[in-house]
Amino acid sequence: MAEAIPVVEMRNIKKNFGAVQALCGVDLVLHHNEVLGLVGDNAAGKSTLVKILSGAYIPDGGEILIEGKKVHITSPWDARRMGIEMVYQDLALADNLDVAANVFMGREAVSTRLGPISIMDKHHMDQETQRLIDRLKIDISSVHLRVERLSGGQRQSVAIARATAFNSKVTIMDEPTAALSVAAIDKVLNLVRELKAQGSSIIIISHRLEDIYQVSDRMMVLRHGRKVLECPVVGDLDEFRERVVAYIIGARNDFAGKGVN
């Protein structure tokens, strides 16, 4: 039965910003080794929902279960301790540091502790980073390259690799393909597929329906803070797009499993 317990379950999540109801009771389920696409128009509540899961916002109502256990996530560090990693839209990388330093930022490997001073194990970090980028087939010539010298796609790959480097249970990607070239988008999507092949569970937010279509197993549509569609990703792209867009813009609103208000 262990297989049937979802890795993440969010129930009846509510969040208000002042008088604005950003989320009015949304459910989200993510199974093991599944890629869930999350779409919706601007201000539909996608980012708010994942920011609640990653600890950036605290919900006004509802509950979160990680592998069947109820949890309270009150900060990004809480979320990270529980194995939830977020890849931020605006690339949370330090340009002045190299690839290895970015992957290990905030959790540097330590070789010796001298009181308050911890000496880094740089060789270990370099090796591990090299192993990571080899495993994920990321195209970067050296782990010693400064991140500012990488292309947009490479930077996004580093950000994603970093989020998945430490045995995370769930990786959340907020618009990972925004502002990337077509070639770079392909690379990032390949990386998502590679991660799934290696057993990761992923939530991906994107404006680009073709991205969702290409990599997701299942998808859900949010509109005005409510879930208006949840379905497996099947069929051909055009039909898929047409159907999903209708729900995004509110032309259709007949989804049976609509969240309780």
- Tell me the closest approach of the beta carbon of residue 105 to another protein, in angstroms: 4
Q: Cβ closer to another protein: 21 or 151?
A: 151
Residues 9-68 that bind another protein (CB under 8 A): none
Helices (H), the chain: 46-53, 76-81, 99-103, 122-135, 152-164, 182-197, 209-215, 237-249
Listed ranges 107-115, 177-185, 197-205, 210-218: which one lies at the site for another protein (CB under 8 A): 107-115
Strand duo 20-30 + 170-174: pairing: unpaired
Alpha-carbon dihedral 247, 57, 196, 40, rounded to 10 degrees: 10
| 101 is an interface residue for another protein by CB under 8 A | yes
What is the rounded distance in angstroms from the CA atom of residue 216 to the CA atom of residue 203? 9
| 115 is an interface residue for another protein by CB under 8 A | no
Binding mask 122-141 for another protein (x = CB under 8 A): xx--xx--x-----------
Per-residue CA distances from 182 to 191, 197, 250 (Å): 14, 23, 29
Q: Cβ closer to another protein: 14 or 135?
A: 135
Total interface residues for another protein by CB under 8 A: 34
67-70 — which CB contacts under 8 Å span 24+ positions?
67/5, 67/6, 67/7, 67/169, 68/5, 68/6, 68/9
Listed ranges 1-9, 83-91, 206-214, 240-248: which one lies at the site for another protein (CB under 8 A): 83-91
Judged by CB under 8 A, the residue of 58, 94, 237, 249 near another protein is 94
Strand duo 117-120 + 170-174: pairing: unpaired
| 151 is an interface residue for another protein by CB under 8 A | no
* Distance separating the N- and C-terminal Cα atoms of the chain: 31
Listed ranges 32-40, 86-94, 180-188, 245-253: which one lies at the site for another protein (CB under 8 A): 86-94
| 234 is an interface residue for another protein by CB under 8 A | no
Judged by CB under 8 A, the residue of 17, 63, 74, 95 near another protein is 95
Judged by CB under 8 A, the residue of 61, 70, 72, 110 near another protein is 110
For residue 73, report the phi and psi dihedrals to the nearest 5 degrees.
Answer: -105, 115
| 166 is an interface residue for another protein by CB under 8 A | no
Q: Cβ closer to another protein: 108 or 194?
A: 108
Residue 165 · residue 105 · CB < 8 Å: no
What is the rounded distance in angstroms from the CA atom of residue 235 to the CA atom of residue 237? 7
Judged by CB under 8 A, the residue of 76, 186, 210, 241 near another protein is 76
Q: Cβ closer to another protein: 24 or 100?
A: 100
Per-residue CA distances from 148 to 151, 165, 179 (Å): 8, 21, 16
Q: List residues binding another protein (CB under 8 A).
A: 76-77, 80, 86, 88, 90-97, 101, 105-108, 110, 116-120, 122-123, 126-127, 130, 142-144, 148-149
